[in-house]
Chain A
């Protein structure tokens, strides 16, 4: 421990974010005035106290079972997502910008999905190559010509954002299938309220705990119109799924049953759940199961998780599903590159939140640029998920670069390239004191009739020094994300430090 216990030392005096944009300090020419009071309070704490609170928080997460299952050998072990008690703070102005950008993106992606499952104008107009969409394994022919309530396909959307060295937020990835992580947004806030109430005092943080309520509203809105009081359920793969805690959390917050495939049955194209009093009608399903496992009759016949016949019930309009079937084609890596053009095409607007500068290698000049700058770029195959087949230029060996070059030339359409993004950092508690660690941000949006963006988001933090990988499977943790209310403490108002 670098700071003696019991002695208040300026905890942030030797803090140095280096060249990166800092979420609590801002950039070199854009100081984060909105976080001044929070910095001041943090600086006045002693490190022993900070560590103690940090350990309290992690123990409580474990006891509350706010955990995910990790499978090692044959055992399933409960792990918490490590929690860092220094918050990430977003000003009201920054948030207004993000909110508008997310609204715009959700609108464009929903318009795109409606289009490709109906007239396919965007393909006919040559804005997006037709084979990228129609040949995509997430494109569901069963959805062609089907109308969904309010033309909403992506009811729950998570947008992965990163912040570059200049402090510009950029979209790294869209998650329009079954995005997860929102339970941590709410639980992290609860945890902060327990362990760090003095840091939050009078800051004016926008609440996040009405997410379940908003989600239920949307689920009711999209239910079949002939049903008076729709029965909503959450469909989970079960208690052995690594995200089971989140399923529990959302079912509880919505006050609806958490069901598994085996609890549901389809009769005469209507969905029922098995209760103590026989079968009861189900009208609206928030499903946390991928398309492929949803209906063994229609998709993967080996699925034990799904409900035979549910697709037909859905097609007949007897049950609502969120998200709709076939949204995977919109958040695909290949399609991602075209989202700015999509926004222009459908909304006649420029993207409010830009993408990470991405080159589509099927386009000749982009391929040439990529080949010329291979050692500086990240090259990603479009069809793969989970980081497979990625070449990170600055870290690749000569052989790896040569291999990548050969693959690019052989099948350019399968690749995109991006610069290495210098993720922003945020002060984080480490064993040695408070150090900068890289973070990203995943805000969530709910869309029924209209879109609502949760004021906050999941801030993931790469706890290992120097690493940019924030994934929980690779040493990532999370932080509470504070979106500040408008007009409060936005100008660096000074007052006493933490008591």
Chain B
């Protein structure tokens, strides 16, 4: 059975937007719950930095207050990185894909989106934020579960998984990158109480806190946290874990469906995986974590572009597939 190039692209992006939405909901939730400093203050601005939204944010808001940032990331439909925009994009892709995906997948995204839009008319007081974020996260997980249980396993399934893991790897590098920067103001503060509670936040954002504790019961350092999130082979959100998935998916996709294209994408993935496995975290940090994460993100973009060229018939751009209005 042939898969339309356009469908493959929509499936890929639907998966990415759902994964992205789940990650953002996690970050907002954990931020509110755990990211307070000793005075009970929360630095909401780091979320703006995490998503590289500084310019856009300040074009519409004076200060990164809790209310402004929350509204901006939850319900601002003019803002492409808000939850409501991500869900709109996921739904628009799902709408195009309705002939291909299961009815249950479509219905759940449709109802989820409609509820979120309905909610966006109202204010979410900060104390209720966690509850709303938990709901969003669970809706995303419901999507994952329905997809696992109902999506027919053909080419489309591979493009779905590819989108999901590329997005997940990208999100983990972003989370690590921004936190590593903001949390390491000076070498003196390393090891302080404040510092470690912030690192706990990072792990919780990625649902990795307890697993990390199990692996490193006796201590937490920025290096071990970064290493865990980059390289751990059992943590489902680690970069290596995701890239291994991408590698396997591409290989199976190409061989099972005897697809002509895709070699360049596979080469890029091999290069990335090789580089990830070549250096221990201490060495990476010495050489500059930020530069390294930048390079990883660049490679992931490269993989996306190669997938686009090979299978979608063009270079995909996140917002180009479906119109945003």
Contacts and interface: CB of A to CB of B under 8 A. Distances in A.
Q: Do A and B come from one complex?
A: yes
A63 B111 contact: yes
Given A63-B111, A64-B107, A277 B257 contact: yes
A465 interface: no
A277 B92 CA distance: 24
A105 B259 CA distance: 48
A239 B2 contact: no
A74 to B, nearest CB: 7
A259 interface: yes
A329 to B, nearest CB: 32
A276 B159 CA distance: 10
Interface stretch (A132-140, A250-258, A316-324): A250-258
**Contact size class for B?**
20 to 34
Nearest to B6: A263
A62 to B, nearest CB: 8
Nearest to B262: A276
Interface in A223-254: 231, 239, 244-245, 247-248, 251-252
SS class, residues of chain A in contact with chain B: mixed
Contacts of B8: 276
B4 A63 contact: no
Nearest to A258: B99
Contact of B107 (A65, A245, A248): A65
A273 B4 contact: yes
B118 to A, nearest CB: 12
A276 B3 contact: yes
Given A65-B98, A239-B95, A257-B2, A277 B106 contact: no
Nearest to B104: A64
Nearest to A248: B98
**Which interface residue of B4, B311, B313 has the most chain A CB atoms within 10 A?**
B4
B283 to A, nearest CB: 39
A274 B257 contact: no
Most buried by A among B2, B103, B261, B312: B2
Contacts of B7: 257
A280 interface: yes
Contacts of A275: 2-5
Given A239-B95, A251-B99, A274 B111 contact: no
Contacts of B197: none
A64 B103 contact: yes
B290 to A, nearest CB: 36
A276 B259 contact: yes
Interface string B200-211: 000000000000
A278 interface: yes
22 contacts: A63-B111, A64-B107, A65-B95, A65-B98, A65-B107, A74-B325, A239-B95, A245-B98, A248-B98, A248-B99, A251-B99, A260-B6, A263-B5, A273-B4, A276-B2, A276-B8, A276-B311, A276-B312, A277-B2, A277-B258, A278-B260, A278-B261
